Amino acid sequence: MSRWGKWLTGMLAAALLAGCAATTAPVEQAAVVAPAKVEKKDVAQDPRLVITTAEVMQLLAGPEAGNYVLVDARPEVKFNEGHVPGALSIPKPMLEKSLDKLSKDKTIVFYCGGLKCELSPQSAEIAMKNGFEKVKVWYEGEPGWTKAGNYLEVELPYIEKLVTKGGTEPYLLVDARPAVKYNQSFIPKSVSLPKAEFELKKGLLPADKSIPVIFYCGGYACKLSHESADLALKLGYTKVAVFAAGEPAWKEAGLPMWGDQASGVALKPKADTGGLPESITVDEFKKLVAEGKVQVIDVRSATDFAAGHLPGAIHVFDEDFIFKAKESVAKLPLEGRVVLHCSTGGRAGGAYYAILGESDYVNKKNLQYLDKTITVGADGTFVIE
User: 295 — phi, psi (to 5°)?
Assistant: -100, 115
Cβ proximity of 193 and 177 under 8 Å: no
Question: What's the Cα-to-Cα distance from 305 to each of 83, 214, 312, 375, rounded to whole Å?
Answer: 29, 37, 12, 11
Cβ proximity of 171 and 189 under 8 Å: no
Q: Give Cα 334 distance to the centre of its chain.
A: 27
Q: 157: exposed, middle or buried (C-beta count within 10 Å: 0-12, 13-18, 19+)?
A: middle
Q: What is the Cα–Cα distance from 155 to 201, expressed in whole angstroms?
A: 26
Contacts of 365 (CB under 8 A, 6+ apart): 273, 274, 275, 276
The maximal CA–CA distance of the chain, rounded, in angstroms, is 68
Packing angle between helix 282-291 and helix 3-21, nearest 10 degrees?
A: 50
Q: 289: exposed, middle or buried (C-beta count within 10 Å: 0-12, 13-18, 19+)?
A: buried
User: 190 — phi, psi (to 5°)?
Assistant: -90, 155
User: 119 — phi, psi (to 5°)?
Assistant: -65, -40
Strands 382-384 and 374-376 come out as antiparallel
Catalytic hit among 20, 112, 222, 342: 112
112 is a catalytic site residue: yes
| Catalytic annotation, residues | 112
